[in-house]
Structure 1
């Protein structure tokens, strides 16, 4: 079976600091993968290894059956650049023509403009685009070679709600065309509905992998939500072993035993209004996993 990505016992260090530790996994074709991890978990280093910008100290990496960064792979892989990586004094259409020249069978310049929804800005300098427009151009440039595998780093950064929704629709369309997508994001609520698999990285190791539903179900936790006048400090004192936070008058409590928490609060005369118990969010699952709260 051909994998989009295959990692076998990868290790990488910066000097004496281990960043990637004996990491192994296989990612199938035509799927959307979300790579999660706190700052310093190893996400950026892992992506650089997959792109061939770094070489592992030990282990084997295969990208679409080839060595990362090899000539056989370059025309099949796209990566979304950071905004600061492009000079500001080049026009949109000039960037599109430049990136077209890197590939044998690129997307048409008309198609690239349409995908980025920048037809009216084609002669605008990059530096004069809004933050969202820059992100859309960078995404289009990453896809202009019609890659089989694409890396998207925080693709919705600086986009408004409408454009974020449009972008996720485009990402799903890429998958439907057979493209494998590996992305990073801090907006877990948005990505939960589009990603096929989530990989959670902690201290250079994959500590959890699965669908959003699988990750949430493994933890068997839910979230209590209710309005009350009792202070957050008071509730935390009653529930010292639970994660409690308050936004305005609304209290949120993550728990694996909702009836017990509700009973305890009622025993201490905490008046709860509009009480609801909801499944654990992907965001809360991520927090629990990165804090080592695995089953």
Structure 2
């Protein structure tokens, strides 16, 4: 595994590549009787070799529950979870899995080198220490105690622990939270390299530009069910129209009345619109404010597609 800074996306996986993990009609509920909470319902999900899969959804959508079932931390109430063709709690399957989850349980009093050594010892063929340090950006931190590190540095240590066993499938739950831009870009390169090497990578993130930049495939879930899946381009295509951005004095109240405008927002002098078609909006904008400058028209972003998909589920009007 290397940590090159290449930015192109590797060729998408095909249905001929091996399935590393899957959920088959998996449902999970907590509690009993009137207090029962159904976290996910009939979830169908698969991760293939060489694929970087981004699992997206609003808070409470069921992402963590889905990850828990894939990794064997919790069992489905109904349906099945399979990891390398086995029960995810099977030791031989878990030895091929690496995971970076929100709750770490890592002791503050151990040094980074000690932590990595300890976790490498759990696997029959661990990744060499030098590769872990390079991939996670830990050079110079090996002698520091975990509890003395900043939040971003601790996230990098947990990233390295996830790689310790040289896994065939790696699950990262919000891996870049708290990282600065340089560290985030470095971990992006490592994630790409992991998938290019034939490993499967599952990523949950609140940074939608991260999913757009990295993912071969995106699965969006809400209220425990899959509401959309496809490549980033396919997800963005679910939102018709164009995004118009301009430096203008036009007010939000007026902009909302222009033809086909679905959403309008302002940040300082900048007006941003999501509209069914750009042409009538541009005409209305320039008629009102001929001095408008720096006008751009682009496709909707992944964030706009995500908001439209999850909003439509809540309010189908």
TM-score with structure 1 setting the length = 0.92
CA distance in 2, matches of 1:96, 1:27: 27
**Aligned mate of 1:146, from 166, 189, 200:** 166
Deviation at 1:130, TM superposition (A): 2.4
Aligned residue pairs total 293
Does the aligned pair in 2 maintain the 1:83–1:138 contact within 8 Å?
Answer: no
Does the aligned pair in 2 maintain the 1:100–1:145 contact within 8 Å?
Answer: yes
| Other structure's SS at 1:122 match | coil
CA gap of 1:117–1:74, structure 2 versus 1, over 3 A, is same
The answer to whether 1:225 aligns with 2:241 is no
The answer to whether 1:155 aligns with 2:178 is no
Deviation at 1:254, TM superposition (A): 1.0
Deviation at 1:265, TM superposition (A): 4.0
CA distance in 1, matches of 2:47, 2:170: 13
Deviations 1:116-149 (A, max 9, x none): 3323221110111222221211111001101111
CA gap of 1:84–1:68, structure 2 versus 1, over 3 A, is closer
CA distance in 2, matches of 1:189, 1:113: 26
Deviation at 1:110, TM superposition (A): 2.9
CA distance in 1, matches of 2:153, 2:256: 44
The answer to whether 1:236 aligns with 2:246 is no
CA gap of 1:31–1:240, structure 2 versus 1, over 3 A, is closer
What pairs up with 1:77-96 in 2 under 5 angstroms?
Answer: 77-82=97-102, 85-96=105-116
CA gap of 1:119–1:241, structure 2 versus 1, over 3 A, is closer
**Aligned mate of 1:54, from 74, 91, 99:** 74
CA distance in 2, matches of 1:118, 1:49: 30
| Other structure's SS at 1:115 match | helix
Unaligned runs of 5+ in 2: 1-15
The answer to whether 1:13 aligns with 2:33 is no
What pairs up with 1:188-203 in 2 under 5 angstroms?
Answer: 188-203=208-223
Equivalent position of 1:172 in the other structure: 192
CA distance in 1, matches of 2:136, 2:73: 27
After superposing the two structures, state which structure 1 stretch, 134-143 or 253-262, moved more: 253-262
Unaligned runs of 5+ in 1: none
TM-score with structure 2 setting the length = 0.86
Equivalent position of 1:4 in the other structure: 20
RMSD: 2.0
